Structure 1
Amino acid sequence: MDYKADLFKYSGLGWLTWKFRPNGLYGFNYHRIGEPDDTQFDPNLFSCSAEQFETHLAFYKRNFDVISSDELIALMRNDTPIKERLAIITFDDGYQDNYQYAYPLLKAAGLPSTFFIATDFIDKPTVPWWDEIAWLLKNTQVDYELLRKWQLPINWPNSSITEQIRMMLRYMKQNHRVSMPQKLAQLRQACGIAENAITVSESLFMDWDMLREVQANGVSIGSQTCSHQILSHLTEQQQAREIVESKRRLEEQLNTTISTFAYPVGGESTYNETTTNLLRKSGYQLAFTFLHNSCNNILENRFELPRFSVDNQCTVDDLKFNICKNMLNQKLSPYVKDNNLSGLYQDK
């Protein structure tokens, strides 16, 4: 049974939920645009194809007032009540396919967006830790038994490589006792692969000239730290370096004021009070999470603005479903629990 089809086409509940969705800010975040089967790295990062992204933009234009980060900052500063449905379109990490595919479509549609950039990947082109993890799992000859010390799930051997990568990344993100460089070194050893074994013909990420071009044509630039490490796993001094230095580098190269920030990984456990205090002291005005919700008080939530993560070759129906599922889980969770209707909201 396709629960998405049931929710929107048959029960009528989805249609009513969508029709009466509240006013507020709806954030939609992307990572990569393209085909996941074409990459030697993490396929889970591909939000959708270029063709799908074009349909998303038309959907946003029909259903929301799409605003820029500068307009959002103005709403925050004036503490303006939100009496309409607003949307902000963002991209994390700064992959080159954002420039190649997303940027021309955004420009053609006349829609603003914000690209959040991890500056180390621009200054020192390299393969980021999550893509290296994916590459290691795709290329290792080591069997399951030798990898068991990573506390892998029982179903690991029977899972697809895409799912194995997702499981390993979840473990690596949650394990805060060891630094990411140390975890990578341990995984390389476990996989039997040397440190510098990965070769790429060109950088995965945009360069400074690309960022200057998109900035001149409707794309705002924000920071996503220097090295994209999970901030709550770092000391205060390490967090300060990631937050302050990335801002300084972007402002120096792009001749602009950097006022927005996106937390790497973005869940509520990936940042802490130290993080938000550092953002405030450093002059940031807004910070974005991956808390799936809408928001109608920007000032109150300015360092925890929610966004819906656009993933898994997402269609327009998926976008609507994710918004409605979140609303239903929040509004009807006691009823769902009491009446054993939880299956209706599962993303199968």
Structure 2
Amino acid sequence: MVRVKQLIKKMAFDFLPSSTVLMFHHIDNGNIIVKSGCRMKIKSFVDILDSGVSFISAEEYTKFRLSWQNPCMITFDDGLKDIYDVAYPELKRRNIPFTVFIVTDFLDKEGYISSKELQLLANDPLVTIGSHGATHKILRGMSEAEQRLELLESKHILEKITGKRIWMFAYSHGLYDNTTVDILRAERCYDYAFSAGGGETNLITKKSVYTLPRLNMEDGLQDYYIDSRYPRLKQVL
């Protein structure tokens, strides 16, 4: 039965217009300060950028337009230093938009971007800044007061630094609970929130604005492939 459901889901995403949110962490050029176990070598990253896959901004993604190209939205978690030093120049050179989800307690610490670098990113039209919480603690199981702190304080700090409205959130480790979603719905502090453990979205999943899936991108995973016929990036189900 599980296999049948997977096949039905695959057919739905193969034949319905869809898009995919990609979740990156470290982009490794051999000279990074490692803060996460999720890494992708710079060559693998550049190969994806140059594959012919269509990349869209956060604003374009959230319009959920009909497209058979399966366009991808690139996101980075944590605010790691190599996002600015390694990934950003490659994306800038190709005029590819992307989103960075920042943990505010990590700002200005070794291995993470500085407040000044965050300002520079936020001022680039290619870049959307989102929140990844205040401390990177897992929201699931936290008290309501603790969750409010993670969700609202990080937003306030980022808006003060960037001078821009922060309207997207990514759950730490992709985990949340009903309390998290209740806060988001009541406060309307973010327009969209992202989890993990998934990939494609379309006209069906767009209704779940606080539980949008992302596809984890790191070396050693076999969760995706480039379909060269289109070309487009597809999730392995």
Partners of 1:265 and 1:55 lie apart in 2 by 26
Q: Identify which range, 29-38 or 291-300, moves more after superposition.
A: 29-38
Answer whether contact 2:194 2:213 (CA < 8 A) is retained.
Answer: yes
Residue of structure 2 equivalent to 1:277:
182
Identify which of 37, 49, 70 aligns with 2:41. 49
- CA 21–320 in structure 1, closer or farther in 2 if over 3 Å, else same: farther
More helix as a share of residues: 1
Amino acid at match of 2:47: T
Q: CA deviation at 1:38?
A: 6.8
Partners of 1:50 and 1:226 lie apart in 2 by 28
Residue of structure 1 equivalent to 2:201:
295
Q: Which runs of 4+ in 1 moved over 4 A?
A: 35-42
- CA 23–230 in structure 1, closer or farther in 2 if over 3 Å, else same: same
Let me know the Cα RMSD of the aligned residues.
2.6
Pairwise mapping of residues 169-318 of structure 1 onto structure 2 (< 5 A)?
203-217=110-124, 218-266=126-174, 270-280=175-185, 281-297=187-203, 299-312=206-219, 318=224
Partners of 2:16 and 2:76 lie apart in 1 by 24
Residue of structure 1 equivalent to 2:4:
none
Residue of structure 1 equivalent to 2:6:
none
Residue of structure 2 equivalent to 1:323:
234
Answer whether contact 2:24 2:217 (CA < 8 A) is retained.
Answer: yes
More strand as a share of residues: 2
Q: CA deviation at 1:39?
A: 5.5
Partners of 2:34 and 2:67 lie apart in 1 by 45
Q: CA deviation at 1:70?
A: 2.0
Q: CA deviation at 1:278?
A: 1.6
Q: Between the two structures, name the one with larger relative contact order (CA 8 Å, sep ≥ 6).
A: 1
Answer whether contact 1:49 1:313 (CA < 8 A) is retained.
Answer: no
- CA 39–111 in structure 1, closer or farther in 2 if over 3 Å, else same: closer
Amino acid at match of 1:94: G
Q: Alignment length, in residue pairs? A: 217
SS of structure 2 residue aligned to 1:90: strand
Deviations 1:185-244 (A, max 9, x none): xxxxxxxxxxxxxxxxxx110011111112222111000000011001210000000000
Partners of 1:244 and 1:221 lie apart in 2 by 15
Q: CA deviation at 1:324?
A: 4.5
Which TM-score applies when normalising by structure 2?
0.82
Deviations 1:146-187 (A, max 9, x none): xxxxxxxxxxxxxxxxxxxxxxxxxxxxxxxxxxxxxxxxxx
Structure ID, larger Rg: 1
SS of structure 2 residue aligned to 1:295: strand
Answer whether contact 1:240 1:278 (CA < 8 A) is retained.
Answer: yes
- CA 210–223 in structure 1, closer or farther in 2 if over 3 Å, else same: same
Residue of structure 1 equivalent to 2:19:
25
Q: CA deviation at 1:307?
A: 1.0
Q: Extract unaligned runs of 5+ from structure 1.
A: 1-16, 126-202, 327-348
Answer whether contact 2:196 2:215 (CA < 8 A) is retained.
Answer: yes
Residue of structure 2 equivalent to 1:63:
53
- CA 108–72 in structure 1, closer or farther in 2 if over 3 Å, else same: same
- CA 92–40 in structure 1, closer or farther in 2 if over 3 Å, else same: closer
Q: Extract unaligned runs of 5+ from structure 2.
A: 1-10, 228-232
Amino acid at match of 1:68: S
Identical-residue share of aligned pairs (%): 29
Partners of 1:227 and 1:111 lie apart in 2 by 29
- CA 252–81 in structure 1, closer or farther in 2 if over 3 Å, else same: same
Answer whether contact 2:84 2:113 (CA < 8 A) is retained.
Answer: yes
Which TM-score applies when normalising by structure 1?
0.57
SS of structure 1 residue aligned to 2:173: coil
Amino acid at match of 2:66: I
Answer whether contact 1:23 1:86 (CA < 8 A) is retained.
Answer: no
Partners of 2:31 and 2:90 lie apart in 1 by 22
Deviations 1:224-276 (A, max 9, x none): 0000110012100000000000000000010000000001001xxx2112111
